[in-house]
Structure 1
Amino acid sequence: MISFNYETDFELDNEAQFEDWIERVITSEEKTTGEINYVFCDDDYLLQKNIEFLNHDTLTDIISFDYTMGNLISGDIFISVERVRDNASEYGVAFTEELKRVMAHGVLHYCGYKDKAEDDAALMRSKEEEKIQMFHVER
């Protein structure tokens, strides 16, 4: 089950389309969808989570809490809509494309992909692009 929660005035235009896409992303990695909760928020909200749970006093676009067990993908994914907007502008991409990248990024972590080492980060970016392309493909 995938749910979308809003701690800011932002809302997804088509939750059903995003839900279907995330399920297909998970299936494409030969995993099963458990409970995934997306929480869209602002910078202040996510900064407080970053300080409280990770002891990081920095802004970030995403924080994910992984509850995956085996191949059952579950977790809470907090996304700062403000950060995504700023990053989209900085990288010269549309907001919705950057949002899809970040949404896929959280799930890809749950699927076992890392991004700290250079090689891992390159693979993560490649997987993000692959999954973004899946958004536009009908089931």
Structure 2
Amino acid sequence: MSLSVVWNNEQEEHEINNELIVLLESILQKAGEVEGLDEGEVDLTFVDNERIHELNLEYRGIDRPTDVLSFAMNETGEDELEIIYAVSEDEDEDQDEVPNVLGDIIISVTRAQEQALEYGHSLERELGFLFVHGFLHLLGYDHQDAESEAEMMAKQEHVLAQVGLTR
């Protein structure tokens, strides 16, 4: 097994083409290398500002759109339920293992377009930045203080530089 992206497009503002997905898969591989992770699945969904606003309000209690949301599947907090996969006795033992789903990343393409213009770089660079940012959140990174924010930013920029997405 390896790191993989399963993606879904729920917005109509920007075409999500194969070149973008290949770029994001490359970013995932580089970020995985940096973190010493070589297998797992990331579910990525592209949405518009309206949908991410709804999700931000529902899950974070913040009544405005945001650029990216991450929902980790492997968190081990005291309120987290253990996920147990049932396998039928009739199934072959050779069957592929259940993938290690790291979690969901949801990106507002609308907000990414706005930020790309604001920062003066390409939409692909902004989507790549948001994707690696979300991926690091899935692994437990956060940016609640200056030190942790600097650590995340350095990791993000390092990965993006490796795939040629500099400012």
TM-score where L is the length of structure 1: 0.87
Q: Give the aligned partner of residue 61 of structure 2.
A: 55
Unaligned runs of at least 5 residues, structure 2: 77-99
Match among 9, 13, 19 for residue 6 of structure 1: 9
Name the one with the larger strand percent: 1
RMSD value, Cα: 2.1
Kindly tell me the number of residue pairs found equivalent between the two proteins: 136
Deviations along 1:52-96, one digit per CA (max 9) or x if unpaired, are 1221101100011001269x5601000000111111111222211
Determine which structure has more spread, i.e. the larger CA radius of gyration.
2
1:68 is aligned to 2:108: no
Q: Pick from 14, 39, 48 the counterpart of residue 45 of structure 2.
A: 39
Q: Secondary structure at the match of 1:63?
A: strand
Structure number having the greater helix percentage: 1
| The one of 116, 127, 137 aligned to 2:155 | 127
Report % sequence identity. Answer: 28
CA distance in structure 2 between the aligned counterparts of 1:44 and 1:59, rounded to whole angstroms: 7
Letter paired with 2:49: D
What TM-score comes out, normalization by structure 2 length? Answer: 0.73
Gaps of 5+ in 1: none
- Give the whole-Å Cα distance in 1 for the aligned partners of 2:151 and 2:61: 27
Q: Could you tell me whether the CA contact under 8 Å between 2:27 and 2:128 is conserved in 1? A: no
Shift of 1:33: 3.0
